[in-house]
Structure 1
Amino acid sequence: MKIRAIKPNNVLEKYIDFYYELALHNDQYYAYPSANNVVCIFNKAATSYVDDEIKINACTNASNTFMVLNKFTTPLFVNNQGYVKEFVIIFKPYGLAQFTNTCNDSLFFELTEFNDFLSNNSCFFERSENEKVDLIETYLLTKLNEKEGLDIVMHSISLMKNDQLSLQDIATACNCSYKKLYRLFVTHCGTSPIVIRKNNRFRNALEKIKNQDEGSKLSDVAFDLGYYDQAFFNKMFKDKTGNNPKQFFKDVSILSKKDIYFKKK
C-alpha cells in the first residue's frame, strides 16, 4: 500500500492538508489518532462502524458516498473486504466546518450534504488523479463559507505548540474566556481543545521519535513534549497506539512523507 500526498491549491491549503488516492484489496490495518478530519469518497462500497472497527465492503450495487471520520483518540481497526477505491481529503482540524453545515458527533458518518457532487460526477473514479483533485477543489470553493471565530481557533492551535501554556493561558492570549474557546472548538473542530491538544502532542511524539538520533533516549523526547513523567508518556503512547514506542515503530508502516501511519493486522 503506497500513498502519494497531493497538496491543495493556494486558497484551500488554509483548510486542507492534502489529498490522496487509495485502492484497498482485502486489507486490514490499524489507523492512529490525529487532530485532522478524514473525508473519504468511496467507490461502490458498503461501510459501517462498530466498536472501534470500520468495515468497508465492496458492493457493486452501492452508490458512491462521502464518509467522514471524526477525530478519534484510540487506535481504529479498518477491515476491508473486496476491491474498493477511495479518494481521501485530509482536512485540518477546523477545515471541514468551513464547507458544511452538517453537525454530527458520530465518529464515522455519511456526508449527504455533498451528494450533489456525486450525482454530477458519476464517473469520478474514471478520472485521472489530477482531474479528481480539480473537480473536488472546484466544488469545495463553491461551498466555502468561513465561520466566525476561525482566527481564534487557528491562533490557539498554533499556541498549543508551547507545552508550557495551559488552555486557560491560551484562551487569555486569544482575548477570550475558556468557555468561549471551548465553544469555538466545538463549532470549528467538532471536539474540545483538550482532544486537539492531546492528538497533536501524540503526532509530535511520533515525529520526534521517528527522527531522533541513534542513541537518543525516549525520556528526552518525553521531556521535550512536556511529559515530565516517563511512565505517563508511555501510558499516553500505549493509549493512542496499543503499543510502547519501540514496538510501534517496529510494526508500523509509514506510507508517505505526510506521515500516514498504518499497521497491518
Structure 2
Amino acid sequence: MKIKVYSPLNPLLKKYIESIYILTHTSEERPAKYITFPSIFTIVSISEKSKTINKGNKLIIRQCDENKIETNLVSNFNKPVYVQYEGEINEITIYFKPLAISSFLKHELSHYNSSGFSEFSPFEDYRKAMIEILSLQSDTEKIQAVESYWLSKLTGFQHNFLETVLSEIMCEENAALTIEELCKKNAISRTTLNKHFGRHICKTPSQFKKILRFRNAVNKYSSDNAGKKLTDIAYGVDYFDQSHMIREFKSVTGFSPKVFFKKTTALEKKQIHWLFL
C-alpha cells in the first residue's frame, strides 16, 4: 500500500482543506490492516471500483469491478476504526478543516451524515466528476482536478456564533477555557451550542475538545523539537495532569499514551498516525 499526502495547491483552498491524500493498494499485495484514530476534520473519500463492508467500527474495503465508485463521508469520528484494504484500490481522501465543508454544501452537514461512514453525493454531478478524476493517470492531475471541482462549489458560509466559538476552542491561549465559559463569553446556552455543533460539525463541543486535545498531544509528541516526557505533553495541551491524559487517551484510542506512541506509525512527515496490524 502506498499513500501520499498533499497540501492544497490553490491558496484559496488552504483556508478550507487541511490535506488531500492518495492511497493505492495493488491486487498482488497482502491485505493492508490498520487502526485509525479520531480526528477533528470532516473526511470525504472517493474510491474507484471498490465496495466497503461496514461493521460498526470496522471497515473492509474490497476491490469490486462492478461498482464504478464509492463516495463516502466521515464526520462523527469519535472512536478508533479498524480498516482493511483488499485487492486493487485507488482512493482519494480530503480532510476538510472543522466547519469548512459548510462553505461548499447546500445543506447542514448533519443532512448528509446518516452513519459513521455515510454514502456521500452532495451534488448532481458529483459521482460522474469523481469517476473522471479517479481515471486520471498522475497524482498531480488528480489533485488539480479535485481542487478545481471543489472550488466550483464554493459558496461561503456564515453563522451567528459557531465560527467564533470554534476559533476560540482551537486557540492555544484559550485551551483552559471550559465549554461553559465559552458559552458565557459568547452569550449562548450550552444547549444551543450543542445543537448547532451537532448540525454543522456532527460532534458535541465536549467531544470536539477531547479529540482536539488528543490530536494536539500527538502533534506535540511528534514535533522534532518537543521533549518526549508525557507529563510535559499533558500540561502543554490542556490536560489537568498525566492521569487525565491517560484516561482521555484510553477513551479516544483504546490505549494509554505510552502504548499508543509505541505502537503507532507516523507517515508522510508525521501527518498521519496509524497502528498497523
TM norm. shorter chain > 0.5: yes
Report what 1:20 is aligned to. Answer: 21
1:140 matches 2:134: no
Query: Does structure 2 conserve the Cα–Cα contact (< 8 Å) formed by 1:66 and 1:115?
Result: no
The 3 A distance-change label for structure 1 pair 18 and 237 is same
Query: Does structure 2 conserve the Cα–Cα contact (< 8 Å) formed by 1:18 and 1:91?
Result: yes
Measured after TM superposition, the shift of residue 81 of structure 1 is 1.3
**Secondary structure, counterpart of 1:123 in structure 2:** helix
Report what 1:261 is aligned to. Answer: 273
1:159 matches 2:171: no
What amino acid is aligned across from residue 121 of structure 2 in structure 1?
T
Aligned partners of 1:219 and 1:39: how far apart in 2? 35
Deviates more, 1:152-161 or 1:68-77: 152-161
Within 5 Å, which residues of 2 pair with 1:91-106?
91-100=96-105, 101=107, 102-106=111-115
**Secondary structure, counterpart of 1:207 in structure 2:** helix
Report what 1:200 is aligned to. Answer: 212
Deviates more, 1:151-160 or 1:89-98: 151-160
The 3 A distance-change label for structure 1 pair 42 and 215 is closer
Deviates more, 1:25-34 or 1:252-261: 252-261
Report what 2:73 is aligned to. Answer: 68
Identity of aligned residues (%): 29
Query: Does structure 1 conserve the Cα–Cα contact (< 8 Å) formed by 2:221 and 2:227?
Result: no
Report what 1:211 is aligned to. Answer: 223
The 3 A distance-change label for structure 1 pair 88 and 213 is closer
Aligned partners of 1:123 and 1:229: how far apart in 2? 50
Within 5 Å, which residues of 2 pair with 1:52-63?
52-63=57-68
The 3 A distance-change label for structure 1 pair 143 and 250 is same
Measured after TM superposition, the shift of residue 93 of structure 1 is 1.6
Alignment RMSD (CA, Å): 2.3
The 3 A distance-change label for structure 1 pair 31 and 255 is same
**Secondary structure, counterpart of 1:60 in structure 2:** coil
Deviates more, 1:83-92 or 1:157-166: 157-166
Report what 1:124 is aligned to. Answer: 133
Runs of 5+ consecutive residues of structure 2 not aligned to the other structure:
none
**Secondary structure, counterpart of 1:154 in structure 2:** helix
1:86 matches 2:86: no
Report what 1:247 is aligned to. Answer: 259
Measured after TM superposition, the shift of residue 65 of structure 1 is 2.3
Deviates more, 1:17-26 or 1:119-128: 119-128
Query: Does structure 2 conserve the Cα–Cα contact (< 8 Å) formed by 1:97 and 1:187?
Result: no
1:42 matches 2:47: yes
Report what 1:186 is aligned to. Answer: 198
